[in-house]
Chains A and B, each alone.
Chain A
Amino acid sequence: MSDAPMRSVSSAQAAATAKAEAASAAGPPIIELDALSVMYGARLALDNVSVRVGGGAVGLLGPNGAGKSTLIKTLLGLLHASTGSGRVLGQPIGARDGRLRRRIGYMPERDAAFPGLTGFQSAWYAGRLAGMPDADARRRAHEVLLFAGLEEARYRDVATYSTGMKQRVKLAQALVHDPDLVFLDEPTNGLDPEGRLEMLDLIRLLAREKGIHVVLSSHLLRDVEEVCNSVVVLQGGKIVRHETLSALAHSSPDAYSVRIGGDPAAFRVACEAAGLPVLAEKERDFELRVPPAGGTAAVFGAALAAGTVVRMLRPSRVSLEDALIDVLGGVR
């Protein structure tokens, strides 16, 4: 397997990236849905969904069966809306003239390949099907395969590829025609840890430095956390939350993480006596709710009373996982 793109970025690059991200997120919405419902057989897979999603890297989160893949397929025009309407990149979804599909790329969740073709032929064919001239499709096929790290394997039949290589060739097919928006459905499925990191690097590079909008559907929160700047949370065919990642995985204003030295049982008793509810406890690590009025002095007071010392005290950060559990739990 080939080298992944460099992971470390300089501070100048990081600043440029942040600027590009802010610009893409502030631009016109890439997805606009208005009361969209989709029936999947007899089941209502998307229920009256309305949302405006800005550009950049957007994560689609939700448990299995929440409607993530259905939403992507509807946006691609592969499934038809029962009611409602939507626009992608300003154009109506399901339009028959193909103009929209020339601007979007799609990496499906399951194994998908043009049968009997090599990696190069697959990417070239995908480019031709997207309307590229033959010479351009050939040149771009080589480029995207190189980008995806398949230069050495590009003349081998895709059927002989490993799972990771199949994921890479799917990414190459999705990118060969240089889309403005790419839908990636579980792109790290079946990848080993190193392959997963490499895939996320490629996606991050597209979203942050190449100006390609990315919609990343995943049930792996870490993937979304590492790549996306906003998330759409789906549950039971409905959008239950849509906001930036930083807002969702917010800092809780009154929760603190505390690590002590000394007897944890005595510290617990002292905290309860001082009116500091213990939210969680693991050995000498505590999660405390600290009333804003008294401030953190109460924590030190409790430690003093228990004959312990405070080794670490910081505001407690709610992880994306916790936030998602809160969101989905609240909906249930």
Chain B
Amino acid sequence: MVIHDRSYSRWKGDRDGSVPGAAVILQAGLRRGVATLFRRKIPAVILILLAFGPFVFAFGFLLVRFYILTNIGQFPGPASALQDPEVAAVSQVSAENVYTYLFLVQWPFVMLACVLLGSGLVAEDKRANALELYLSRPVTVRQYLLGKLGTIAIFIAAVTLVPTLVLTVEQLALTWGDFPEMGRLLLMMLRTMAACAIWIAVPSLLIVAASSLTAKARNAAILWMAVIVMLEFVASNILLEIFGDDRFHLLQIGWNIRQVGAWILGDSSADHLLATVPVWASALVLACWIAACVRIMTTRVKPVEVVA
């Protein structure tokens, strides 16, 4: 007796609806990224603790500070210490703190996310000849790239934008009723999102472009690191030393991102950054990098490699 029809059956589902190709690729990319991260559990846990340690500390500190300041009678000593202007400045969501957290504390984790999770996004598909499989389905090159960019962007956002917004929302909740402060925090949320858009977009585009240039994730990571390190630390510093011209800062991708980010956040402590070269020049350099990355990706991601 046949207990299961092993034969082929026809599918009667809808064939005319739109295909959310980018979303499907993004979903699969996130799963794969998490699996990659947790392939070695202990380093993954250590990395996550390090990446979210400052955030957890700040989150807890805001709560403790709030509790102590609302119960001054019970904690007179700590309360007076927390009311010190310097301590107060360190423990609130301000442009300076957000800048420090996003661009100085978290940058190693942005780098690690790009190297560990972004370098193989396209390269591994190329190596496995999967581009033919993707693009022979109702998925366009644009959808494919959006899915891949979205994947790395979400991992970068998880260590930059998300903790910052959570802290801002926490402080917003703790200052409920103080309308000037709430207004400042809402504006800070918008500025944070705009600054993070740059901080997420540029490294994501760079790593996906590097990944699309090769069929090996390792090579993509090396290429990406080489470009960043060469421009960030070597070329610009040597040229700056020799010629003493601040305009060589424009060669530094990270410096351009920090300058534009500081400008967006309105961070007065970063005036030294803003004083060197005009912000529009840095923005223009970043726009050129973005255009170059888009060009590389769209020319290198093809279903068929045509060798002339």
Contacts and interface: CB of A to CB of B under 8 A. Distances in A.
Contacts of A297: none
A37 B152 CA distance: 40
Contact of B13 (A108, A136, A175): A136
Contacts, number: 116
A42 B304 contact: no
A143 B35 contact: no
A5 B136 contact: no
B16 interface: yes
Nearest to A103: B15
Interface residues of B, number: 41
Contacts of B19: 98, 102, 129-131
A112 B130 contact: yes
A157 to B, nearest CB: 11
A130 B137 CA distance: 6
Contact of A129 (B6, B9, B24): B24
A144 interface: yes
Interface in B1-44: 4, 6-11, 13, 15-19, 21, 24-25, 28, 32, 35-36
A41 B28 contact: no
A99 interface: yes
A325 B127 CA distance: 37
A101 to B, nearest CB: 4
B130 A5 contact: no
A329 interface: no
B134 interface: yes
B267 interface: no
A76 B10 CA distance: 22
Interface in B237-287: none
Interface in B92-132: 120, 124-125, 127-130, 132
B308 interface: yes
B194 interface: no
Contacts of A130: 19, 137-138
B133 interface: yes
A40 B137 contact: no
On chain A, which size bracket covers the interface? 35 or more
A147 B6 contact: yes
A116 B24 contact: no
Nearest to B129: A112
Interface in B293-308: 303-304, 306-308
Nearest to B28: A125
A116 B35 contact: yes
A177 B140 contact: no
B140 A96 contact: yes
A143 B137 contact: no
24 contacts: A41-B306, A42-B308, A76-B136, A98-B137, A99-B138, A101-B137, A102-B16, A108-B132, A112-B129, A114-B133, A115-B120, A129-B139, A130-B19, A130-B137, A131-B17, A131-B18, A131-B138, A132-B11, A146-B4, A146-B6, A147-B6, A147-B8, A177-B11, A178-B11
The 6 A-B pairs with the shortest beta carbon distances in the complex, nearest first, are: A98-B138, A41-B308, A178-B11, A131-B19, A112-B129, A78-B303
Given A113-B133, A129-B21, A175-B8, 17 more contacts: A5-B6, A5-B7, A76-B136, A79-B306, A102-B16, A112-B133, A114-B128, A115-B120, A116-B32, A129-B137, A129-B139, A130-B19, A130-B138, A133-B13, A136-B13, A143-B8, A146-B6
